[in-house]
Structure 1
Amino acid sequence: MSKIHFNEHQRKLLEMNPNVTSVSDRAIQYSSAFKIRAVKDNRAGKGPTQIFIENGFDIEMIGKDRVRSALNSWRKTFQTYGEDGFLEERRGKGSAGRPSTKNLSAEKKLERAEARIKYLEAENELFKKARGTRKEGDETQVAAHEKYEVIYEVIRKHELQNCVSALCEEANVSRSGYYDWLQNLEKHVIRENNDYEDYLFLKCIYDAFKGKIGYRRLYMKVCELLETPMNPKKIRRLMCKYNFFAKVRRANPYKNIAKATQEHKTLPNILKREFSQDEPGKVLLTDITYFKYHGRTAYLSCVKDVATREILAYELSSTLKMSIVYKTLSKLSDKLAGIIHPEAMIHSDQGFHYTHPEFQKRVRQMKLKQSMSRRGNCLDNAPMESFFGHMKDELDYIEAKTFGELKQMIDQYMIYYNESRRQWNLKKMTPIEYRSHLIAA
């Protein structure tokens, strides 16, 4: 079953579609005519998404997985039973037959049969929602208020009368508890509407960042826009409820770099993952990453301050020649302006550039100690790897057509990252603001 929940507003919108017979908080019942038409359109070559859009459905609201799953089920039904499979009721054990009551009139038999069908549908709905959400072997109990919601939806959907006691008994809740909950239904509706309004507000921010934003940064952005911000727990709840999450990056294989020669020298890991620093300029990290754009590859060398997370120096190059790290060191020297922390060190991996004798010589001339990660252990330089990952998530570098366009994008991102991008673990400050905070402290 889909994890998407429909609120009252969304249910009303869906019920306005002529192809829908009824909607609950987690399920949509479609008309038989639409199911038959959808299967035929699919056989003619149309995809599930196209079929639903052409029939007036909002795919973002109902979810692509629900659309594909529904059409797969309808194809199987059509293949087995034909069009009659959508026009006849086939639910419930032994539903092909009807109660054998010879002494009842035909009208009475029909009435009882219809009542039985409605009850079986209500029972199936109750089991599916109140009990069927648990995994096999999971004994977690469904909350009472969730069961009350299920009962209310089932009664409203099927227009059942005098069935409250039976449904409460099936759900293992008290009848009096259900009526107490019903009296507070207006409060539930108000909360649901408030949730939907807050969701629309958060979704605007989420879309502005093209989905590349998590709940922490959403919270910090809301704090900038509202005098009374939302609780971060509420933001997480709404993101789960309405199914919008930060787009997670996938690991990319790192480009192989030439192996070091005999005269290249590796150095011990002095840093030892001590990334919690409170003195700017004491621990610096450096690394190189790559960007593939318009059939070409560019390389970015960066130096990051562990304490403030500020990018102090960077160099973009179309090649992996040693000049990329030499220029980075030169820019770092200009940035520090001769103010070197007495215990300053620069940490890197054991790449070709950092084991090169000339690079190590220039590091010593800057009065910096040099530290290196253990071979094949990227976690020893985790903050630098994390920065590159977030940068690639948030930067649309693939759209760059020339090296100049890519450089302009990266220059703008570095300004944004250092001066505007607030970070949760920096007391919700930007790197430059946090640097001033540490110096003042």
Structure 2
Amino acid sequence: MRGHFLNAKVNLKCIQRLMHLLGLKVVISRKRYNYKPHSPSHVAENILNREYPKDYQPMEVLLTDVTEFKYGTQAKVYLSVILDYGEKKIVTFKLSKHNNNELVRESVSQIEDRIKPTKTLIHSNRGFQYPSHSFKHFADEHQVIQSMSRAGKCIDNGPMEGFFWTLKDERYRLNDYETFEQLESDIKDYIDFYNTKRVTLSMGLKIPA
């Protein structure tokens, strides 16, 4: 046993000497640590639970999310949208060059006077803006029911994801935008089109008056 150990030690020294002569170095991988993510402070239940076929009254179920666009030489802009599922319309949106809590707060503040206390439900994913103290304060102040998708389940907010897909597929990807103003103008134009003229199966293939 001792002989094997000595032979292994000699062989190791030979290998190290050879690597030194050849200018080679051993790369030792550091141990990886599995860090547990911190849970957000205000995660809400998935109260909506994909109950989309139901008939809702206006301002009863609101869906919201933020998506990203690029323009110019890789500049970014962020769009925060609130979709009224009862009316199947975008009730408010906000564009910003910064993806932060203020973007989402400014979005919901535009519908403060239309919220139905204890009846309006706002469903979102778990993006950092929605479990924030700022958003929770808004929900409490206006007696809004907060609902959130399960972690990693974007389908829980399917209609909102669907709107982003149609916006990007039917307008954004068909054009090149050099400036923020060009992109902003086209997004506003598309949302107006979406709310008033877009033919959908839910409208019975009729264009609304």
Q: TM-score range by the shorter chain?
A: 0.7 to 0.9
Superposition deviation, residue 341 in structure 1: 6.6
Q: 2:179 aligns with which of 398, 402, 420?
A: 402
Superposition deviation, residue 330 in structure 1: 1.1
Is 1:282 matched with 2:65?
Answer: no
Distance 2:114 2:79 in 1: 24
Alignment of 1:15-414 (within 5 A): 264-278=41-55, 279-294=57-72, 295-333=74-112, 337-338=113-114, 340=116, 342-396=118-172, 398-414=175-191
Structure with a larger share of its residues in helix: 1
Is 1:423 matched with 2:196?
Answer: no
- Of structures 1 and 2, the one scoring higher in RCO (CA 8 A, sep 6+) is 2
Q: The residue matched to 1:319 in structure 2 has which SS?
A: coil
Superposition deviation, residue 308 in structure 1: 2.0
Percent identical among aligned pairs is 34
Q: Size of the alignment, in residue pairs? A: 171
Distance 1:330 1:296 in 2: 27
Superposition deviation, residue 426 in structure 1: 2.4
What TM-score does the superposition give when structure 2 sets the normalisation length? 0.75
Sort the Cα spacing of 1:374 and 1:262 in 2 relative to 1 into closer, same or farther, 3 A.
closer
8 Å CA contact 2:101–2:134 kept in 1: the answer is no
What TM-score does the superposition give when structure 1 sets the normalisation length? 0.37
Structure with a larger share of its residues in strand: 2
Letter in 2 for 1:403: F
Deviations 1:207-234 (A, max 9, x none): xxxxxxxxxxxxxxxxxxxxxxxxxxxx
Letter in 1 for 2:116: I
| Greater Rg by CA | 1
8 Å CA contact 2:115–2:142 kept in 1: the answer is no
Return 5+ residue gaps in structure 1 as ranges. 1-259, 434-441
4+ residue runs of structure 1 moved beyond 6 angstroms?
Answer: none
8 Å CA contact 1:346–1:369 kept in 2: the answer is yes
Letter in 2 for 1:330: S
